[in-house]
């Protein structure tokens, strides 16, 4: 029974759409790439560490947290894939963890609990992110940085200000990971449109919290003409409230950790492909942008050897989406300004 189950799991890994994490490159042809996960012992960090260990584009996996990292590193290191795993624990080892990094992923911080908004997380997570980014500027200033720590609408601006102060800021190398919004939009759309989810694509723009999340279902592929306006509104709201749905379902025992780790691994894989010169790698991300009047905005981004190769425009929007865009701008503006203000406090 156990053998049959293991055979089934291995088979599904090979045939799953997410197997792109494993078959992007053979390890023989892929360059050496060091990936660092800051917050690796946490609820997102542990499954993210597992998923990055499965990625053949990673040659060195550096796991850092303030506690618990040796156990996570020992556990993950036994998996028979390409990357070598080293765990680092405590502030005194942060520099060693970061040195030589090509990509730094930051899921560090506290999770959201029932009744908490992403703004409620701000006072705790903002300080954590500021400290970690100060170290990144010192030890691996040229690494790509994938920000998962919430509220992303504020933590990305915090990171940018920290890097500016250190003289290391490169807007092409800083990303807010909004991939979970895309993952949810694809899943919910496929279910409602009754199409195979593996072939679905839905751009999600704006920010990464509540009404700032704007899925562009009018641009979804394959196009489903059978969805009513009411169903599009419901899909939009469910995508915006996806995090709350999970927080409430876990009843105080966590937030969206597993799906976030999956989304984080998908985006990290895209960044690594871009670094390695794979053409036409496009994902949505919260980056420095001229798409709107705001300094940061999530939209489709073409990834390449320098990080952001091109920030793509919004394309054609439905009337409903145009209204959503106008509605989200003030809240997103406020969150961005809050992050900038925090970073510039002494």
Range with the poorest average pLDDT among 1-5, 146-150, 163-167, 273-277? 1-5
Binding positions are 39-45, 65, 112, 118, 125, 148-150, 184, 260
Residue 161 CA to residue 174 CA, distance in Å, equals 11
- The tokens describing 86, both together, are 């080293």
pLDDT confidence of residue 232: 98
Mind listing the pLDDT tens digit for each residue in 166-213? 999 999 999 999 999 999 999 999 999 999 999 999 999 999 999 999
Q: Is 19's pLDDT higher than 70?
A: no
pTM score, whole prediction: 0.92
Q: Is the pLDDT of residue 68 over 80?
A: yes
Furthest CA-CA distance within the chain: 61
Is residue 72 very low, low, confident or very high in pLDDT (cuts 50, 70, 90)?
Answer: very high
Instruction: Give the HSE-up count for residue 272: Cα atoms under 13 Å, Cβ half-sphere.
Output: 30
**Residue 207 has which token pair?**
């920010």
Residues annotated in a binding site for substrate: 112, 118, 150, 184
Catalytic residue (one of 173, 208, 300, 333): 208
Q: Please give the annotated binding residues for NAD(+), written as ranges.
A: 39-45, 65, 125, 148-150, 260
To the query of whether residue 208 is one of the catalytic residues in this protein, the response is yes
């Amino acid at each position: 029974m156990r053998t049959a189950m293991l055979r089934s799991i291995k088979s599904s890994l090979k045939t799953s759409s997410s197997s792109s994490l494993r078959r992007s490159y053979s390890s023989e042809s892929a360059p050496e790439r060091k990936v660092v996960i800051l917050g690796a012992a946490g609820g997102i960090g542990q499954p993210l560490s597992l998923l990055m260990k499965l990625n053949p584009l990673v040659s060195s996996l550096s796991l850092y947290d303030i506690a618990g990292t040796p156990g996570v590193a020992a556990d993950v290191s036994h998996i028979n894939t390409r990357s070598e795993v080293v765990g680092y624990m405590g502030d005194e080892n942060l520099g060693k963890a970061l040195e030589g990094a090509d990509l730094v992923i930051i899921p560090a911080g506290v999770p959201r609990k029932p009744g908490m908004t992403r703004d409620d997380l701000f006072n705790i997570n903002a300080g954590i992110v500021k400290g970690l980014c100060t170290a990144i500027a010192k030890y691996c200033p040229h690494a790509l940085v994938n920000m998962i720590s919430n509220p992303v609408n504020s933590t990305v601006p915090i990171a940018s200000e920290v890097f500016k102060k250190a003289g290391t800021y490169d807007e092409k190398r800083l990303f807010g990971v909004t991939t979970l919004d895309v993952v949810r939009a694809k899943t919910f759309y496929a279910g409602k449109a009754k199409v195979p989810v593996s072939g679905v694509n839905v751009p999600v723009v704006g920010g990464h919290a509540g009404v700032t999340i704007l899925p562009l279902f009018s641009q979804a592929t394959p196009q489903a003409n059978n969805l009513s306006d009411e169903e599009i509104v419901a899909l939009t709201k469910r995508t915006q409230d996806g995090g709350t749905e999970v927080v409430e379902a876990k009843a105080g025992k966590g937030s969206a950790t597993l799906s976030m780790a999956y989304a984080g691994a998908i985006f990290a894989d895209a960044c690594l492909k871009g670094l390695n010169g794979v053409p036409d790698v496009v994902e949505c991300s919260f980056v420095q942008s001229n798409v709107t009047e705001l300094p940061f905005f999530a939209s489709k981004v073409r990834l390449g050897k320098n990080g952001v190769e091109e920030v793509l425009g919004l394309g054609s929007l439905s009337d409903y989406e145009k209204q959503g865009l106008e509605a989200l701008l003030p809240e997103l503006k406020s969150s961005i300004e809050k992050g900038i203000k925090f970073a510039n406090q002494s």
